[in-house]
Amino acid sequence: MKHHLYMNGQWKEAPRYTPLYSPYSGELVAEVGEAGEAETEEAIRAAEAAAPVMAAMPAHERAAILDRVVAILERRQEELVRILALEAAKPVKTGRGEIMRTIQTYKFAAMEARRFHGETVPLDAAPGGEGRIAFTMRRPIGVVGAITPFNFPFNLVAHKVGPAIAAGNTVVLKPAGQTPLSSLVLGDIFAEAGLPAGALNIIPGPGAVVGEKLVRDSRVKAITFTGSPAVGIAMRNKAGLKRMTLELGSNSALVLDRTCDITPELIQRCVLGAFSFSGQVCISIQRILVHEEKAEAFVQQFKAQTEKLVVGDPLDEATDVSALISEKEVRRMEEWVGSAVAQGAVVVTGGKAVHPRLYPPTILTGVPTTEPVSCQEVFGPIVTVGSFSTLDEAIREVNNSRYGLQAGIYTNDIHAAMQAAVEMDVGGVMINDFPTFRVDNMPYGGVKESGFGREGIKYAVEEMTELKLISIKLKP
């Protein structure tokens, strides 16, 4: 089946179509239209033309559109879960969780549309400010370019499209090449919900063409991007003065302090955080640091629980872990594990591909910190386990990274918890939870090469609006 481009409220034929294959079975899923320079220009023009319409739309109408999107998503949940399984190899029970979060994200967007506000400013706090009333208001920024990854193709799109619409902006959306169907289905959903033509344009295509034009074009006032640090940095260098929100890489660490209890619940949380969606999660647990007194017991229990995971067909209700997004990624897992083993690392479980498209949940110990599986972003089902003697040592190791998205610590010591909160150099510290924790209304983003700007609907709305000050002199 051919899937066209969605521009200006219409489905339009593309100059070329590329085959989309299932990461699990290798079977043809669809043929997807690919935008070129001309189609990207058309999408930007449509978004620019619709910008005044969206900016003038009352907040209650924008909120009502998002409410209707929620209702449609709820009605079509199982269809959307199947799309995730086919194009991303996301197990259906994991996919249901993503669709539930996507629905929640659009609900939050509708809420933010209704409470879009500024604040009063006490100008008389400064000499010369007497006799004035001042307030701020937020105005839509205009056209937003959204560039999204494959791993959460519904919910991460919602985190870009939802706040943009809530704020009264228009969007040109470039989805990831492997997961375009999750975005294209939104064309009919938003049209049914009553979004004006041109307010949402969906154009799969090469990053070197579509992404490049979105970043460079002055009519696009903001870029919101989730992807690799290399691409994000290159985009930032080309974007000029336009707004940018960049959520880039991570190799999230979890600390298990001497005072914490190694419970079945903690072990299950570690398994979920490390291996959900085959570790293809920006805040997946990649490094676990365990106090030396508890390290051996933890590794044994972690191994036992990991080996209970079912690896297989994403459409099977029993499957926990399925294919990686491409065979190239499986080969990279093998290379990185092989390199670590050559430098003295020990494979506790897993460590070898079970199929050209399937790599099993893998636990490594004794990994040098200079090995890619430790210091780079794995984005696969591999976790390293190391030990420490003091909390200072553990925090130094957490911070010994080019990334800084989220980190976690389990501890029963309030002083240790507060030390971690203050000293961990990351965008979010999860105390008595794993770094993979995220709900969709919290501020989410990182430091260092993990990017800058914040998602989470309220915070994304702020990123996608201009702040204007109004000052009134009471006695002319």
Annotated active-site residue 260? The verdict is no
CB 368 within 8 A of CB 340: yes
Nearest C-alpha neighbor of 118 from the set 100, 99, 134: 134
CB 339 within 8 A of CB 372: yes
Annotated active-site residue 247? The verdict is yes
Measured CA to CA, the distance from residue 143 to residue 423 in angstroms comes to 38
Nearest C-alpha neighbor of 290 from the set 397, 166, 446: 397
Nearest C-alpha neighbor of 89 from the set 227, 278, 233, 237: 278
Burial 121-158, CB ≥16 within 10 A → b, else e: bebeeeeeeeeeebeeebebbbbbbbbbbbbbbbbbbb
Q: Which residues contact 234 (CB under 8 A, 6 or more apart)?
A: none
Q: Which of 34, 87, 98, 247 is catalytic?
A: 247
Measured CA to CA, the distance from residue 59 to residue 137 in angstroms comes to 14
Q: Which of 112, 270, 282, 449 is catalytic?
A: 282
Active site amino acids? 247, 282
